[in-house]
């Protein structure tokens, strides 16, 4: 299991690095595929699918909505079109609910809309960050804040973790690990700012700003991790899926990235200036 998890993790990181580096069509296509998988996993966890776990009409509409949303984002790149696709998806779900009544319950439609907003829409901020004016430099802060925080929190928790702060939701998480994760992400952000971003910026304080951004992003990454865990607890499931050997499903591996991406997008938009 260790080697399976390690190899899968390395492959996943390499794919993420390549997609972040090239941006454009490769990144959009990968994010679309990840979003479709995440939508399906959430739909199953929230009992939106049929009894056998296969896609039903609300989920099919959800997948069509994700496809339209990402197509609008990539081919048009206008936020108004993306909002239009989101509203269109919502109206289509309402149409399915009414036309097929009473086949689908209100909770299923609500959960499908939640799944769309939770994963596909939030993940789209990775693409928007990468394609922004500063994106080639700042998109890496998403990984620093999420996966960097995860790694640092795990190491610190294993070494000195004692006080459990979420014993029911996440028994392995400790206060020391959480602090180590935030501090580690801040340090990694500072190093990245110091040795990379300061070379393309006239702002001498950019390293401290990046450290702050990564620290705040790390806090949200842990919120995302815990929120995804809470959904699994409610659904009485161990993993969201088995798509990634040794890791589980897309939601098991990208739970922190999902909420970190919009956080980094808006923080860098207003706090960071890189030419």
> Mind listing the pLDDT tens digit for each residue in 87-132?
999 999 999 999 999 999 999 999 999 999 999 999 999 999 999 9
pLDDT of residue 199: 80
Q: CA 198 to CA 207: how far, in whole Å?
A: 7
Which pLDDT score, from 0 to 100, does residue 10 have?
84
Three-state DSSP class for residue 131: coil
3-state DSSP helix/strand/coil % of the chain, to nearest 5: 75, 0, 20
Q: Average pLDDT over the chain, rounded to whole?
A: 91
Q: How many CB atoms lie within 10 A of CB 60?
A: 12
| Model confidence band, residue 44 (pLDDT cutoffs 50, 70, 90) | very high
- State the pLDDT at residue 270: 87
Closest CA to 139 of 124, 154, 119: 124
Q: What integer pLDDT is reported at residue 134 of this predicted model?
A: 85
Predicted model pTM:
0.93
């Amino acid at each position: 299991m260790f080697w399976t998890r390690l190899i899968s993790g390395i492959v996943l990181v390499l794919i993420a690095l390549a997609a972040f580096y090239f941006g454009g069509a490769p990144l959009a296509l990968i994010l679309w595929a990840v979003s479709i998988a995440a939508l399906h996993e959430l739909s199953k966890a929230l009992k939106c699918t049929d009894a056998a776990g296969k896609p039903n009409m609300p989920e099919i509409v959800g997948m069509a909505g994700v496809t339209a949303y990402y197509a609008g984002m990539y081919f048009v790149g206008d936020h108004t079109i993306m909002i239009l696709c989101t509203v269109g998806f919502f109206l289509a779900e309402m149409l399915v609910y009414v036309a097929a009544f009473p086949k689908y319950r209100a909770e299923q439609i609500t959960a499908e809309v939640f799944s769309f907003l939770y994963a596909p829409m939030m993940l789209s901020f990775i693409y928007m960050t990468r394609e922004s004016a500063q994106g080639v430099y700042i998109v890496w802060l998403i990984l620093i804040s999420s996966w960097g925080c995860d790694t640092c929190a795990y190491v610190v928790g294993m070494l000195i973790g004692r006080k459990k702060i979420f014993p029911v939701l996440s028994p392995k998480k400790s206060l020391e690990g959480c602090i180590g994760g935030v501090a580690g992400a801040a340090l990694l952000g500072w190093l990245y700012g110091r040795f990379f971003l300061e070379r393309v910026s006239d702002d001498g304080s950019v390293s401290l700003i990046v450290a702050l951004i990564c620290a705040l992003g790390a806090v949200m990454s842990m919120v995302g991790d815990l929120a995804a865990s809470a959904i699994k607890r409610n659904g009485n499931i161990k993993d969201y899926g088995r798509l990634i050997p040794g890791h589980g499903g897309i939601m098991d591996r990208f739970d922190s990235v999902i909420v970190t991406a919009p956080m980094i997008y808006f923080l860098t938009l207003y706090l960071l200036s890189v030419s």
